[in-house]
Amino acid sequence: MKIEIGITWFPRKVETFHQSQATINHDNVTIYPDGVEFPHRTDFTVKTLGDHRGCFKHYYRTLEDLCKTDADVVGVFSDDVLYRNGWQQEAIRMFGKNPYIGYLACYTPKGIAGKWQNRKGWNELNGGWATSWGGGYLMRRDVALKVLKHPFILNHLENYEKNQQIDHAIPEAMHQMGYLQFAHNPSLMKHIGKFSTIGHTHRKIDEALGW
C-alpha cells in the first residue's frame, strides 16, 4: 500500500520543519509552501502550487494535487509535528481491515479520547463538526476525491473565512457521507508548534494523547 504525504509549510516565528522531517521516516513526501519561497534544506520534493491562499484553501489544493498521484492513501500534514515510530505500519494494517474507513487521524488530541482514553490502538470517532476533531488525516485516494467534491467542503472552501477549520470540516464531510472515522491511542503525532500559522493557540485538550 503506497502512502503519499504532502506537508504544508508557511513561515513561523519559531521554525519546526527540521525537527519534524527528522522523525517522519517516510520517502513519498512532497513539501507544499503556501505561496512563499521555501528556505530549508530537504531531500524531499518541494512544489509550489501558486500564490498564498491561506489555511483551508492551501490544504484543499494540496490534497487535490496528491490525488493526481498513483498512491493508494494520501495525507496532508502540517510542518510542526513529530511522528511516532511505525506510524505508517499502523495505518496500513488498519486500512487493510475495513473498506469503509473515511480517514485515520494520526493526530489524536486528549480532548476527544473520552471513554477510550485507556484503550490502545484504533478507536472509532462519531459525529462531525466540533464533535470529532484532530488532524493528520490519512484517506484512501478514492475517498479523498469524494471529499474534494463534497458540497460541504466546497461551500466551506468558498464561504468560510475566519480560521478555516480543517480538523472540523473533514470529519463533517465524512460524517455526512457515512464513512467511518478512527483515531489512534497513543497519538501517532505530537505538535511541537505552540501556535498555528493562522494564530490558534494549542490548548490542553489539544495536546497529543499518550505523549
Q: Indicate the angle between helix axes 166-177 and 151-159, nearest 10 degrees.
A: 150
| Collapsed DSSP state (helix, strand, coil) of residue 21 | helix
Any idea what the CATH number is for the domain that residue 13 is in? 3.90.550.10
Please tell me the total count of domains within the chain: 1
Q: pLDDT truncated to tens, each residue of the chain (211 aa)? A: 999 999 999 998 889 999 999 999 999 999 999 999 999 999 999 999 999 988 889 999 999 999 999 999 999 999 999 999 999 999 999 999 999 999 999 998 887 777 677 789 999 988 755 666 678 999 999 999 999 999 988 887 787 655 456 667 888 899 999 999 999 999 999 988 665 444 445 556 567 787 7
Is the bond leading into 186 cis (omega within 30 degrees of zero)? Answer: yes
Backbone angles phi, psi at 165, to 5 degrees: -95, 95
Residue 211 inside a domain? The answer is: no
Residue 193's domain comprises 3-206
SS3 132: coil
103 in any annotated domain: yes
Q: Rounded to two decimals, what is the model's pTM?
A: 0.90
